[in-house]
Amino acid sequence: MTIINPDSAGKERTQLSKGVILAIRELAKQTDPGPESRDLAAFIALALSQISAGIDISVAAWEKRGYWVKADKFRMEWLWSGLYAEKMKAALLAEDWASVAMTMAQVAQKLSKVVVPAGHRLGRPWVGAYKHLLAEK
C-alpha cells in the first residue's frame, strides 16, 4: 500500500512561494518602514529559509532511486533561497532598507513564474513574523 503525504515539501514550497510573492507585493506598497514592513521582510526571510530547508527532503526520493543529476539540478535551482534568506535577515536586523528592497527585487525575479490568483485564500501569513525572527535569533 502506498501512503501519500498531502503535506509534501513540494506543496509547502508552493504555498510559501505564493506567500512570499504576496509579501513582496505588500512590501512594495509600503511608503516608510514600520512594524508591518518589518513583519513582511521577516516573513520573506523565514519563508525562504523554510523553502531552503525543504530542498533535501524533496530530492531524497530521487537520490534513493539513483537520479543524482536530477537531484543536483533541483538543488542548484533552489540554492538561491537559502542565500537570499540570510541576506534578507541580515538587512532587516541592520535596518538596511535599501538592501531589503534590493533583495526583495532579486527574490521577485526568481519567483517570477509563481502565480497568485486574485481570489487567493492565503490571508496575511506575515503577521507576527518579525517577533518570530527575533525569537529565532
Per-residue pLDDT band for 31 (boundaries 50, 70, 90) equals: confident
Contact at 8 Å (CB) between 99 and 87? yes
What pLDDT digit, counting tens, does each position of 82-132 carry? 999 999 999 999 999 999 999 999 999 999 998 888 777 778 888 888 898
Per-residue pLDDT band for 1 (boundaries 50, 70, 90) equals: low
Positive or negative: CA dihedral 76, 78, 84, 85: negative
* Domain layout of the chain by residue ranges: 9-112
Please name the residue that has the C-alpha cell 531552503: 52
What pLDDT digit, counting tens, does each position of 35-81 carry? 899 999 999 999 999 999 999 888 888 899 999 999 999 999 999 99
Predicted model pTM? 0.88
What is residue 137's predicted lDDT score, i.e. its pLDDT?
Answer: 66
C-alpha 134/C-alpha 137 separation (Å) is: 5
Residue 89, sorted as left (phi over 0), alpha (psi -120 to 50) or beta, turns out to be: alpha
